[in-house]
C-alpha cells in the first residue's frame, strides 16, 4: 500500500510532478500533494504551474482511486507541472482537524464513549461536531474547553499508522463513526491517528505533527439537534 502524498508529507506544499493523463477540465498527476477533502476536512486549494501558464485548482474527483485535479479552464498541458497547495489554508485545516480530535477525545472520555455523528470544518476557522449525547448537560460540555486547550498546550505528538480494518472494527472507540472514518484501503487496511497519551481513532485527514498549533480552541455554542444530537460549534482564536 502506497500512502497518499498528503499523508506522508503533510507539510510539503509544492511538488514538481508530471501530467499522467488529461481530459477537458481535468488532469491526473503522477503525484499529487492535494488533499481531496473528506471526513469533515475541506479539500485543498491551490494551483498548477507549467512552462507558459498556470491554472487555479477548482476541485478534485476520485475516480477508481485516482485523485483527478479539476480546473476551471481547459489548458493544453502535458509533461512537467508544479502543483502548489495553498499552505495557509491547509495549515488552518490541519490545526482545526487536530483540535477536533482533541474535542472528540474529551467528549468520548467524559461522556461514556459518546460517538460522533457528524463533523464539518469551515473555511473561516470554525467547525461543528455533532455527538450522540441524548442526556448531556450542556454546561459540562462547555467546560471541556479547558482540558481541550490544556491538551493543545501540552504539545502531544500526533502520529499515524495502519492496521487491518477488521482488527480496528474489534477495538472499541477506534472507529467513532462511519461518517468520519476513512474507507479501508484496497488491501484492507485503515489509517489510525494517535495523539500520544490522549486518543487513537481512524481518520483519513491531515493533522499537525503535535497538538500545539498557532491558535487555541473556543467552544462557541452548543445546540440541541433532535433528541439525540448535540452540535458543538467551535472556533480557532
Nearest CB to Zn ion, comparing residues 29 and 193: 193
* Length reported for the chain: 237
Q: Residue 205 CB, nearest distance to Zn ion (Å)?
A: 4
Q: Residue 109 CB, nearest distance to Zn ion (Å)?
A: 17
- The residue ranges of DSSP E strands in 137-205, in sequence order, are 158-164, 189-195, 199-202
Tell me 97's DSSP state: H
Place of cell 480496528: 168
Nearest CB to Zn ion, comparing residues 205 and 213: 205
Q: Specify burial of residue 70 (Cβ count, 10 A radius: 0-12, 13-18, 19+).
A: middle
Nearest CB to Zn ion, comparing residues 29 and 158: 158
Nearest CB to Zn ion, comparing residues 45 and 176: 176
Place of cell 499552505: 87
Q: Residue 102 CB, nearest distance to Zn ion (Å)?
A: 11
Query: Nearest-CB residue to Zn ion?
Result: 203
Contacts with Zn ion, residue ranges (CB under 5 A): 203, 205
Q: Quick one: cell of 227? A: 433528541
Q: How far is the C-alpha of 58 from the C-alpha of 55, rounded, in Å?
A: 9
Q: Residue 204 CB, nearest distance to Zn ion (Å)?
A: 7
Q: Residue 104 CB, nearest distance to Zn ion (Å)?
A: 9
Q: Residue 41 CB, nearest distance to Zn ion (Å)?
A: 7
Nearest CB to Zn ion, comparing residues 50 and 199: 199
Measured CA to CA in angstroms, residue 227 lies from 110, 113, 179, 236 at distances of: 20, 18, 19, 28
φ, ψ of residue 221 in degrees (nearest 5): -160, 150
- CA-based radius of gyration for the chain: 19
What is the longest distance spanned by two Cα atoms in the chain? 60
Nearest CB to Zn ion, comparing residues 82 and 194: 194
Amino acid at each position: 500500500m502506497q500512502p497518499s502524498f498528503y499523508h506522508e508529507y503533510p507539510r510539503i506544499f509544492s511538488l514538481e510532478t508530471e501530467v499522467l493523463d488529461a481530459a477537458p477540465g481535468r488532469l491526473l498527476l503522477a503525484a499529487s500533494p492535494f488533499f481531496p477533502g473528506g471526513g469533515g476536512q475541506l479539500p485543498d486549494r491551490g494551483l498548477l504551474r507549467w512552462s507558459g501558464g498556470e491554472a487555479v485548482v477548482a476541485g478534485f474527483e476520485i475516480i477508481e482511486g485516482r485523485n483527478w485535479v479539476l480546473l476551471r479552464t481547459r489548458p493544453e498541458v502535458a509533461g512537467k507541472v508544479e502543483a502548489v497547495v495553498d499552505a495557509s489554508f491547509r495549515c488552518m485545516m490541519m490545526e482545526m482537524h487536530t483540535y477536533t480530535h482533541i474535542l472528540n477525545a474529551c467528549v468520548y472520555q467524559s461522556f461514556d464513549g459518546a460517538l460522533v455523528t457528524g463533523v464539518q470544518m469551515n473555511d473561516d476557522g470554525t467547525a461543528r461536531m455533532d455527538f450522540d449525547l441524548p442526556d448531556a448537560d450542556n454546561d459540562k460540555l462547555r467546560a471541556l474547553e479547558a482540558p481541550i486547550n490544556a491538551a493543545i498546550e501540552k504539545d502531544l505528538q500526533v502520529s499515524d499508522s495502519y492496521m487491518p480494518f477488521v482488527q480496528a472494527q474489534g477495538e472499541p472507540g477506534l472507529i467513532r463513526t462511519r461518517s468520519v472514518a476513512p474507507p479501508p484501503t484496497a488491501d484492507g487496511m485503515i489509517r489510525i491517528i494517535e495523539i500520544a497519551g490522549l486518543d487513537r481513532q481512524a481518520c483519513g485527514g491531515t493533522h499537525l505533527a503535535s497538538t500545539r498549533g498557532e491558535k487555541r480552541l473556543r467552544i462557541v455554542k452548543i445546540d440541541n439537534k433532535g433528541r439525540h444530537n448535540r452540535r458543538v460549534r467551535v472556533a480557532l482564536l
